[in-house]
């Protein structure tokens, strides 16, 4: 039997404040299928509907009509907790992915405990500290020296790196990133992007990454989706994506 798509969104519509003078039709019949192993970069103007799309997939926003399937399971308007066995996400705000008052080790323990995978839970019962140190060292952000530091004392970059690690510990079917480097300085943003690429590749994670940086959308991922005014206006993959130039993309943006 062929593997089901990781994500299948059909005829998705979202209207905020319907029937009022503030009515805003934000998703207009969006169709999007993501196959196993794809790394999709999503770009679009401010207010185009990118985060709304991501939020309806994660389940933090309900839909008005349309269908969402995750790994072959119908999840349309099912709660976030139901979808969390397939989906993990990292937010723009470094504070949202981690618990600031807990140490790095405690955050990792929480993330490991929440994983649905039994084999992974068993794995975590061994010499945890050595495993944590290995994982943290692989991030190259100096976190292996901060195992017992409260997360609120970490830098934004360290905190996003930890959020990424925590989001991927459970081997989610779909990793959702919503401008997860936008709050970082340019240098740290580049480091976290490189780290993202490394983690996605090493774990063969199917990933949907919203970015505000056109250069990142061109440099990362094997597929590029452009959202404009609540619709997908461009969807290129493979060689066509590799060949895409910044000026072409800018022209499409303007149009």
Q: Which residues bind ligand ADP (CB under 6 A)?
A: 16, 24, 26, 44, 46-52
CA distance 210 to 92: 10
Min CB(113)–Mg ion separation in Å:
30
| Residue of 160, 232, 222 whose CA lies nearest to 196 | 160
| 16 binds, options Mg ion, ligand ADP, none, Cβ within 5 to 8 A by partner type | ligand ADP
Q: Which is nearer to ligand ADP, 51 or 107 (CB)?
A: 51
Q: Which is nearer to ligand ADP, 45 or 76 (CB)?
A: 45
Min CB(157)–ligand ADP separation in Å:
22
Min CB(50)–ligand ADP separation in Å:
3
Q: Which is nearer to Mg ion, 50 or 159 (CB)?
A: 50
CA distance 172 to 40: 15
| 47 binds, options Mg ion, ligand ADP, none, Cβ within 5 to 8 A by partner type | ligand ADP
CA distance 146 to 159: 11
Q: Quick one: tokens of 192?
A: 């976290």
Q: Which is nearer to ligand ADP, 14 or 146 (CB)?
A: 14
CA distance 105 to 144: 10
Please say whether the beta carbons of 69 and 7 come within 8 A: yes
Please say whether the beta carbons of 135 and 144 come within 8 A: no
Min CB(31)–ligand ADP separation in Å:
17
């Amino acid at each position: 039997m062929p593997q089901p798509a990781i994500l299948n969104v059909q005829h998705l519509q979202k209207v905020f404040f319907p029937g009022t003078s503030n009515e805003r039709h934000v998703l207009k019949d969006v169709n999007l299928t993501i196959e196993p192993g794809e790394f999709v970069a999503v770009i679009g103007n401010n207010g185009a509907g990118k985060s709304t799309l991501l939020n309806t997939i994660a389940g933090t926003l309900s839909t008005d009509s349309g269908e969402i399937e995750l790994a072959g399971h119908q999840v349309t308007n099912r709660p976030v907790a139901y979808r969390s066995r397939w989906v993990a996400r990292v937010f723009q705000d470094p504070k949202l992915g981690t618990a600031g008052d807990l140490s790095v080790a405690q955050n990792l323990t929480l993330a490991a405990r929440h994983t649905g995978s039994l084999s992974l839970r068993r794995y975590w019962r061994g010499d945890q500290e050595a495993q944590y140190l290995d994982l943290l060292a692989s991030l190259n952000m100096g976190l292996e020296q901060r195992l017992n530091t409260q997360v609120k004392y970490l830098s934004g970059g360290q905190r996003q790196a930890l959020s990424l690690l925590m989001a991927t510990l459970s081997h989610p079917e779909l990793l959702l990133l919503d401008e997860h480097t936008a709050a970082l300085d340019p240098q740290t943003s580049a480091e976290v992007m490189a780290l993202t690429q490394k983690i996605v590749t090493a774990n063969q994670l199917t990933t949907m990454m919203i970015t505000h940086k056109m250069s990142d959308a061109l440099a990362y991922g094997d597929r590029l989706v452009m959202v404009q005014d609540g619709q997908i206006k461009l969807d290129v993959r493979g060689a066509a994506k590799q060949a895409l130039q910044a000026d072409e993309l800018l022209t499409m943006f303007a149009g």
